[in-house]
Amino acid sequence: MIPEQFTYLGLAMSVVGSMHYLFLTIKGRVKPSKVTWLLWGLFPLIVYIGQAVNGVGAPAWNTLAASILPTMVVIASIKIKQSHWSSSIVDYILAALALLGVIASLLTGVALYAMSFAIIADFLATIPTYRKSYLYPSSESAFVYIVSAIGSSISLFAVQNPQIISTLFLLYLVVSNSAIFMLIKFGIKSKDRALLSI
């Protein structure tokens, strides 16, 4: 366990990562999945509300930051043609399932259940980005995801009274961002994809 003040370092790293991704989107150097990023803006907001109600404290700010910037990325990707990424029918099905998870999280009166449903929903919403990161790694930024994973790790270790309600979402962010980083790094390169299509 590290001092709680380190939460703000973790928060700053996550914000820097997301702001860098927003910058890359504006420049047309990444092509975010709008389905993923739109839902990424919604789900952490639900988790943040649950954490705030349960008095989690400073670590909850990391969760709130995970909600605000993705919405800005979606807006930028809509306005910048070079950042356009077409969503498939599978993406929309996953989004619908994710939204059902959100509804389930809102209907339960137990914070832990609400958070669990929100994490499941977030995972479903992230599947299009997992897939895109592996098949088209050049459409993503590995740097952004590893910075976010490190920032969430710092916030996780800064939780002073570790309980499942205060650590579960942070742990999920560490695993999910690390997974995307690895998928980008070891994804199919353009030349290999060309060979697969022969």
Q: pLDDT tens across 120-157, in order?
A: 888 999 999 999 999 999 999 999 999 999 998 998 88
Q: Which domain holds residue 63?
A: 6-196
Question: Which are the contacts of 111, defined by CB distance < 8 A and separation ≥ 6?
Answer: 50, 51, 53, 54, 165
pTM score, whole prediction = 0.82
Residue 1 lies inside a defined structural domain of this protein? no
Reported as a single tens digit per residue, the pLDDT across 24-46 is: 999 999 999 999 998 888 877 77
Residue 47 lies inside a defined structural domain of this protein? yes
CB 130, CB 180: distance < 8 Å: yes
Mean pLDDT across 163-173: 84
Counting the structural domains of the chain, the total is: 1
Is it the case that residue 195 has pLDDT exceeding 50? Answer: no
CA distances from 56 to 9, 25, 117, 131 (A): 17, 33, 18, 33
Is it the case that residue 48 has pLDDT exceeding 50? Answer: yes
Residue 103 lies inside a defined structural domain of this protein? yes
105 or 174, higher pLDDT: 174
Is it the case that residue 161 has pLDDT exceeding 70? Answer: yes
pLDDT at residue 178, as a whole number: 97
CB 112, CB 164: distance < 8 Å: yes
